[in-house]
Chain A
Amino acid sequence: MVHVVALIRRFASGRGLLPPLLLFCLLLALLVLMGRATTNSAKFGQMYIGLLLASATGLGGLALLILYNLAQLIRLYRHRVPGSRLTLRLTGIFALLAITPVALVYGFSLHFLQRGIDSWFDVQVDRGLENALELSRTALDLRMREVLKQTLRVSVSLADDDEQTGRRLDDLLDLGEASELTLFGQGGQIVATATLDPAAILPHPPSETALLQVRQGRNYVALEPVGDAGFHIRVLVPVSSPHNEERQLQALFPVTDRLSLLADAVQSAFDSYRELMFLRAPLKASFTLTLSLALLLAVLAAFWAAFYTARRMVRPLRELADGTQAVAAGQFNKQLAGAGAGSDELGFLVESFNQMIRNLAQAHEAAQRSQALVESQRAYLETVLARLSSGVLIIDQGGRLQTCNAAASQIMEVNLQDYLGADSQWLAVANPMLQEFVTAIGPHLAESGDWRQELDWFGAAGRRILMCRGSSLPDAVGLHGGHVIVFDDITHVVKVEREAAWSEVARRLAHEIKNPLTPIQLAAERIRHKYLKQFDEEQGKVLERGTHTIVQQVQAMKEMVDAFSEYARPPRLQLAPLELNEFVTEVLYLYRDYPAGVEIKLDLTQEPLRINGDKVRLRQLLHNLVKNAIEAIRDGHGSTLWIGTRREHVAGSDRVELSVRDDGPGFPESVLASAFEPYVTTKVKGTGLGLAIVKKIVEEHGGWIQLETPADGGARIAIRLPIFHDGADAPASPAVSAVSLHADKEAAG
């Protein structure tokens, strides 16, 4: 079923040459048969109507298919489908080219047909046949008159005779030419009969009209078919009888052979001619019909051929159009099938198009490759820039920010990506924090060559020291001049350098000062010991006080020098995993009975916080912090110290925060930036090394320290340390892990 539908669809859509060709041949055969049938051939005559119907059905079907195709074509044309316009035009032209000669031939054929059939009939022939018929009639009339006379003679001879009529009739039959003699009596009863035909039992009766005519006294003579023996002359005459009863004599005469033959020939010729003449009009109509059907077939075939040819010619063109559009839309993988294009110019065109597309595709691919290369290089460059710890800015000739890397944004603490393309002057207006930076580098942008400048800058996290290096770019490779500025945050480096210097100073001081202190103390004690007894009470008191002061101050100096040496001492850490909360609780246990006025509150998290640390150093750290805080509280009339721990999760990694907060006076603005530097202190007493040492210990443990001034007063110091992982991250034993960490630290240090 699906097959059949597909076939019909294929047929209807005009694809494929074979089905319409077969249909055409079939219809042609039908028409030929019809033409034969029209010319009265007995064999095809019976089929005429069937042939006519079949042809009409076939042609109707063909016409419907063509109409369907035409409608479809027009619909495509309305929808402006590519190629439909050309198909329609070509179809029109082909159809016109084919139909014009066919119509001309049809016209002439029709004309000649009419003339030809008319010319069969001629007035002369017509008249001649009429005359021949008339002649035959006259000849027969003569014969009839003759046989009438004979019959009348017979009737006279029968008039008186009453007896022996039968024998008499036989005799008369023998004498005359009649083939049958019958005497009818009253009411048409047979009185006597004589016949030459030995097989005949009954005579051939006359018709009622003939009898009626004779009864009225008129003789009847006529040519009549008698039985199946051909035409006879029937003569019926009245016979006078002795008893005055009505009698009729019927005589049947055969027409003489020669006359009969000739008359039959004339009759049949006349009949044929009359029939033909009568059928002239239907015959013409039949021929015209056949001819018209042939014309219709030719026209429809021409239409079909036009459709077929136009489609065939347009298909490669439409494919080309489609292909062109596809290429215009950026599809370079389109290849035309070139079906139906063949090996002519259209085929060549299709092949050329395909070649062109292949070349285009290759070119396109090459372009894409180079673009990808450029992209990857650009990405590479960007990755490198992003990984750089130095900030990089590129400012073009017009002073607009062209490129910046992540480090630049990080150092500047401003997302510079938002300001790409912005004028540097506007940059300063848009973000006041950048103003100083812009002002500082502004003068350099005007000059060419390299420059270098260190600048102080106050960011959100305090004072920063930036090292800027700039260079004007060459006016080439699409850069159009401009400057590249590379800057580093060297605050930390400077601090480390400063701390290293302090360490060195402290070490030397400790070394240089500690040596003479012991002799000074010993000398002072010796003076006291030797001269105290020799002096009187007044002098002794002076000596006592003096030496005591010396010893005490030397002791103080020793402690100071110890502290210095402690600060300068190179790290020798004994790292081991420890639980911070336990550790804090244990250390602060010592402070539980701390002399009055200060309350220490622990705010520790519930969860265990494991870190990798040196217990001794951490204890020192805690002591320093607590001591520092308590002193600050006392100075500032505070009362409470909070110590807290918690776990922080920042940027995908966990860490531990240890915080110490007090409600003392807090740090003055002036020391915030350098609170962790040696010899920075707000206290009357103290070495100024407490927080410096704390910071050192924190850094030794891989953490960092931050000073904060809470909004509700006091001071807060937050220490952040890396958490110790001994689970999935460190499958080996904690000892090994600790050792390896230790080793890492030392390598880093």
Chain B
Amino acid sequence: MAAASEQRAWLHGVAGALALLWGLLGPSPGWAAGFEVIAATTKLEGGVYRLDARIDYHFSKPALEALQNGVPLIIALEMEVRRRRSWIWNETVYSLSQRFKLEYHALSRQYLVNNLNSKERRGFSSRAAALQFMGQINGFPLLDKGLLGRDERYEGALRAWLDIESLPAPLRVFAYLSDDWRLTSEWYTWSL
């Protein structure tokens, strides 16, 4: 009798683990998650290229769930300046990244956005506001013009992605294997 219940419990455990695996790894239908760079451009101000960009962050359900449960999410903006070459791939001459930490502050019921580069912190009462804040890049100083060659043609490239490596270890395994956590945007390029 005891053995039977043990066995049942064991089966439940295995079934639960499998269901969880499926839930974590399987596709979530009807939810187009992923980041997207809507627009990005640079303007030259006082010899410095300044970046203006708009980025849409669509988180998947598991990612939002994690955020809601106090798991901080690290979002990275990766910027590159590439020298255009006609017959082989372009050469990356400069790259930098901006990292934001998005977390939910339960006490104040706020979403906090922490720019890890500038240490600046902002609180938002709604997630949408926080995402909008993160999605608006205005006049970000990208590069001094003097660093670029005169007669060369350059392009800027921008993408946003969720840093899986900074997730808690147990979550990371599934994040690696699941599409729900692969929220990287395509490279968005423009002429400099």
What is A's interface to B at a CB cutoff of 8 Å?
37-38, 40, 45-46, 48-49, 52, 107-108, 110-111, 113-115, 133, 136-137, 140, 207, 209, 222-225, 227-228, 231, 263, 266-267, 270-272, 274-275, 277-279, 281-286, 288-289
Contact = CB atoms under 8 A, between A and B. Distances in A.
A225 B121 contact: yes
A274 B24 CA distance: 18
Contacts of A113: 13
A225 B173 contact: no
B9 A111 contact: yes
B169 A137 contact: no
Given A108-B10, A275-B168, A288-B13, 19 more contacts: A38-B170, A46-B165, A48-B173, A107-B7, A111-B6, A114-B9, A115-B9, A133-B106, A207-B129, A222-B123, A223-B123, A224-B108, A267-B106, A271-B70, A274-B106, A278-B70, A284-B16, A284-B17, A285-B173
The 7 closest A-B pairs by CB, nearest first: A278-B69, A282-B170, A114-B13, A271-B70, A225-B121, A223-B108, A45-B169
Interface in B100-121: 105-108, 110, 112, 119-121
A284 B107 contact: no
Contacts, number: 120
Contacts of A37: 169
Contacts of A282: 20, 24, 170-171, 173-174
B107 A286 contact: no
A48 B122 CA distance: 33
Contacts of B24: 281-282, 285
A49 B121 contact: no
B172 A48 contact: yes
B165 A222 contact: no
B21 interface: yes
A38 B65 CA distance: 21
Given A49-B176, A277-B69, A278-B65, A110 B13 contact: yes
B125 interface: yes
Interface of B: 6-7, 9-10, 12-14, 16-17, 20-21, 24, 65-66, 69-71, 105-108, 110, 112, 119-125, 129, 165, 168-174, 176
Contacts of A225: 112, 121-123
Contacts of B165: 46
A110 B10 contact: yes
Overall SS of chain A's interface: helix
Given A279-B170, A282-B173, A107 B107 contact: no
Given A266-B107, A282-B171, A107 B123 contact: no
Given A40-B169, A48-B172, A289-B173, A228 B119 contact: yes
A278 B71 contact: yes
A213 to B, nearest CB: 10
Contact of A283 (B69, B110, B170): B170
Contacts of A271: 70, 106
B169 A227 contact: no
Given A222-B108, A227-B120, A108 B6 contact: yes
8 contacts: A111-B9, A114-B12, A222-B125, A223-B108, A224-B110, A225-B121, A228-B121, A284-B17
B110 to A, nearest CB: 7
A201 to B, nearest CB: 16
A329 B168 CA distance: 71
Contacts of B129: 207, 209
Nearest to B121: A225
A344 to B, nearest CB: 39
A281 B20 contact: yes
Given A52-B173, A222-B125, A285 B107 contact: no
A267 B174 contact: no
Contact of A107 (B10, B121, B171): B10
A274 B16 contact: no
A110 B14 contact: yes
Contacts of B16: 114, 284
Contacts of A266: 107
Contact of B171 (A46, A52, A279, A288): A279
A251 B169 CA distance: 42
Contacts of A270: 70, 106-107
Contacts of B70: 270-272, 274-275, 278
A664 to B, nearest CB: 125
A285 B106 contact: no
Contact of A40 (B120, B168, B176): B168
Contacts of A108: 6, 10
Nearest to B169: A45
Contacts of B10: 107-108, 110-111
B163 to A, nearest CB: 13
A52 B173 CA distance: 9
Contacts of B9: 111, 114-115
A133 B173 contact: no
A1 to B, nearest CB: 35
A275 B69 contact: yes
Nearest to A267: B107
Contacts of B112: 225
B120 to A, nearest CB: 7
A279 B174 contact: no
Contacts of A207: 122, 124, 129
Nearest to B20: A281
Nearest to A266: B107
A285 B123 contact: no
